Each structure stands twice: as structure tokens, then as C-alpha cells.
Amino acid sequence: MNTQDLYEEYKERMHRIADVKYSMALLQWDQETYLPPKGAGIRGQQIATLSEIAHRLFIDEKLGKILNELMDKNELGENEKRNIELTLEDYTKNKKYSSAFVRKLTEQVNRSFHAWMEARKQNSFPIFEKELAPLTELKKQETDILGYSHHPYNALLNEFEKGSTVQLIDKTFADLLPSLKTILEKIKNKPQVNDSFLKQYFPKQQQWDWGMYLLKQLHFDFEAGRQDISEHPFTINFANSDVRITTRINENDFSSMTWSCIHEAGHALYEQGLPADQYGLPLGEAASLGVHESQSRLWENNIGRSLLFWKHYFPELQKKFPEQLAKLSVEEFYKGINKVEPSLIRTEADELTYHFHVLVRYELEKKLIDGSILTKDIPAFWNEHYETYLGVKIPDDKNGCLQDVHWSHGSFGYFSTYSLGSFFAAQFYSAIEQSVTDLNNGIEKGNTVPVLQWLRKSVHLHGRKYTSGELCERMTGKALDTRFFLDYLLQKYSLIYTL
């Protein structure tokens, strides 16, 4: 077969695998949005079957043969070559898993997810723990299947952020957190800002309309996506022409929905901007979770919590909620939405204390995976570390170790990418500030198109072509450096709290 035909055969196989994977993703989306409760059991089985089929299709020896043959061809273009390299990497990794293990893991994830839902309902960790314990055992087995050096947790970290290690993340946190602690202490000694206006009654339908308006303003393409309601906001895609986000509405807390919309919009703009002709291929996928999170954070925080942005949108917001907000100035609003205060819930944390929430989970997972603690020890570990790092007392499991869905999905090694996302976002945004002329002027007028264009060109269109590290170098001229994030916070809080 000539190279072009062989590459077509490769693409054809990858398309079929993607079809199955994205079908599975739709089943998952439905599970968290519309699934009736009695459908949960069979749904888990259906997802497990698709997952097993996708895995079987991917580890087909014939695909391996095609990939190895294509690796030796010189006629391939740069992007084709990169697709083959990355697919071969994935193939080699996937070959390590037996289909039986994949099925077992998927089924256990499903049981754990439903146990987590039930545990939250009853506000009782032990209900979740019964299913989390065997899931954690499977994840430990997975580290052996994948292989690792130094620390078993590295195997899992690497799944979400290629090249990420315990050593690197330990160092990143160690570099940054003392400075964050210092800022936090300084803030504590200053007059606190008022955010009580956020806790007024904001009716559900009006919040929904406002969120939809914002999504349109940010150029989320509703012809190629939609928004629905779920317990925990998320973004999922079934092709770059079908990218779905979810949100939740708290009628007594305005911030919950607004910044979840902007956050998920950031994820979704990335997915909608991936190259359509690379469907099912590595260059049609996001670079890494850290890069994914950099997109959501950049929109949510660097733009969506800036004074410039709200200079344009706050008058719009006041029109929608005159009773609640007419008397407020944009400066007061800006300060309120950037209030720093140690709290219980990660997704509602401010930009500073957020990273202590991540640290607790990171430390906990490390120990869980290397066996120094067991799943039953989680609440004690959690509660103790929240007190140490944030000085808060955990009142119950729902506001403590049951708050996040991730473990129920078996996603150990995920949380650190949230912090990486913030750090990348600060560094990327600094590059945008330098290269886009008239940027601030535009944002102040509600025009974020130049930012989107810059991200499309520099990040979205490349798919997985570059690692997060390579992307960072290409865009900013240097490796990831938490100094950008620190500078960003210092500048923001110096003004707000007159540090």
C-alpha cells in the first residue's frame, strides 16, 4: 500500500474509534444531565461495553502494524508524522491494558459515581468509601500496568499532563505557596471587601438568561454546542462541531453560575477551535488538561474577573438585575467578586486560596496511591489539612471530602492540572498583553475577539501537536514560571486591598 493509502486506512480506523468514544461521551453527558434514576445501572454497563469496544479497536494488531509502517515513511507531512508518533505512543500505552481491566475499571467507576451521588445525598462519606476503596485498588494496579519511575503517582499524573511528576509539582507548590501565604496574611490584616451583594436573591430563569447572554458575547458557538444544567458544571465534546457545557444555578449566590459559565466557555472555545479535519486524531485533541484549564482560567479570571471586562458588562448586568445591583458601582462589584477568604468549597474559592484546596487533594492522592493512607482515612486527612492550610473547620463530608466528583470517576492525578492551568493562564495572558495592540481598550468595550483569535492561532489550532511545556515556550519564550501568576495576583490584590 502506498503511504497515502496507508495514512487513509489509519485515519479510517481512528475515526471509528473516535465514533465509539464520543458515543460513550454522550452516554456520560446524558448520565449527568437527563438520565432517569432507575436507568443508572444499565447505563453503567452500556458505557463499559463501549469503552471495551473502543479499547479493543485501538489495540488491534493491524493498527499497530500500520502505525509502525507509517513511522518509517518519509513522505508524510509534519502534522501527519506527529499524528502517527502520538498515536503510536497511545497505542503502546493502551496495549498494556487488558480489555478485561478496562471493563472492570469502567464498571467500578460507574458504581463509584452512583455511590458518590448517594453519599452526597445522605451526607455520609462511608457510603462512597465502599466503592472508592476497590476503585483506588484498581488505580494502584493501573500504576503498575503503566509503569513509573520514582513514585507510583507519577504514572497517573502523566495521564493528564504529559511529563508531570511528583518532583515537579512538589517544587512548583513549594516555590509558590509561601508567597501566597504571605499575601493571604497581609490581606487578613486589611479592611475586608464587601461581597454581600452576591448573596441576594437572583431568580433562576434570569440567571440562566444572563449566562446564555454572556456565552454568546464570548463567542461560544451555539450552532456547535449547547448548555444544560447538571450537579457539577463540566465541558464535554463529541466532535468540535458538538461541544456541550453545563452549569448550575444557586438563586442565593450570583457568582456560582456566572463564573462557571465563563469558565466552561473557556474550555468550550478551545474544543470548538480544534481543527475539524483532525477528528479522532491526536492533532484534533486538546494538548493536555493543564492547557485546557489554562483556557478556562484565562477567560474566567484574567478576563472575567478584571475591572476592564466589567466596565463594559456591569451596566448590562445592572439592567438585568436593577433591584439587586442598581446602587452598586463597578469598582465595588469588582472588589466583591475578587474577595479573598479561606473557604470550604474548591469551586467557589478565590484565585489565591484556591491553590491550597488543590494542595490538600494533591497531597492526599499521593499518599493514597503510594499506600501511606487508606480510603477510610480520607475524611480525617482532609479535615486536618484544611485546618492547617486554610484555617477552616470542615462541618460535614458534603462540604469536605465529598465535594468533588473526580475520585468517583477514578480521576486521580487530575487536580494539580487546575493549578497548572492558572499558572499557564497568567503566563499566556502576559504574552497576549504584549502582543495584542489596544487589548485593554477593546476589552473595556466588550471586545474579546483579539484574545480569542490569539488563542485560536497559538493554542487551539495545534491540537496535541505540542506538549504544554512546548506550547508555553513557543508562546511566551520561556518554560512555565509561577512568577507570572504571582505578579498577576500581587497587582490585583495590591489595588483591591491596598497592600
**Catalytically active residues, by annotation:** 264
Q: Which three cell numbers stand for residue 37?
A: 434514576
Interface with a copy of itself includes 118 (CB under 8 A)?
A: no
Among 5, 223, 437, 498, binds a copy of itself (CB under 8 A): 223
Interface with a copy of itself includes 35 (CB under 8 A)?
A: yes
At its nearest, how many Å lie between a copy of itself and the CB of residue 285?
15
Distance, CA of 158 to CA of 146 (rounded, Å): 10
Nearer to a copy of itself, 197 or 213 (CB): 213
Near a copy of itself by CB under 8 A, which window of 23-31, 168-176, 192-200, 393-401? 23-31
Strand partners, 227: 245
Among 6, 14, 20, 425, binds a copy of itself (CB under 8 A): 20
Q: Per-residue b/e over 164-190, b at no fewer than 16 CB within 10 Å?
A: bbbebbeebbeebbeebeebbeebeee
Question: Which of 435, 477, 480 is closest to 455 using CA atoms?
Answer: 435
Three-class SS state of 139: helix
Among 10, 202, 238, 429, binds a copy of itself (CB under 8 A): 238
Q: Which three cell numbers stand for residue 322?
A: 436593577
The phi, psi pair for 391, rounded to 5°, reads 70, 25
At its nearest, how many Å lie between a copy of itself and the CB of residue 334?
34
Q: How many residues bind a copy of itself (CB under 8 A)?
A: 37
Near a copy of itself by CB under 8 A, which window of 84-92, 207-215, 236-244, 431-439? 236-244
Interface with a copy of itself includes 225 (CB under 8 A)?
A: yes
Among 195, 242, 264, 285, binds a copy of itself (CB under 8 A): 242
Q: Which three cell numbers stand for residue 318?
A: 445592572
Strand bridging mode 225-229 / 243-247: parallel
At its nearest, how many Å lie between a copy of itself and the CB of residue 456?
17
Strand partners, 226: 244
Among 37, 77, 178, 191, binds a copy of itself (CB under 8 A): 37
Query: In whole angstroms, how large is the CA radius of gyration of the chain?
Result: 23
Q: State the DSSP H helix or E strand holding residue 146, giving kind and residue range, or none if neither.
A: helix 125-146
Establish how many alpha carbons lie within 13 A of residue 295's alpha carbon, considering only the half-sphere containing its beta carbon. 29
41-70 residues in contact with a copy of itself (CB under 8 A) are 41-43, 45-46, 48-50, 53
Q: Running DSSP on this structure, what letter comes out for residue 302?
A: I
At its nearest, how many Å lie between a copy of itself and the CB of residue 101?
17
Chain positions contacting a copy of itself, by CB under 8 A: 15-16, 19-20, 22-24, 26-27, 30, 34-39, 41-43, 45-46, 48-50, 53, 221-226, 228, 238-239, 241-242, 279
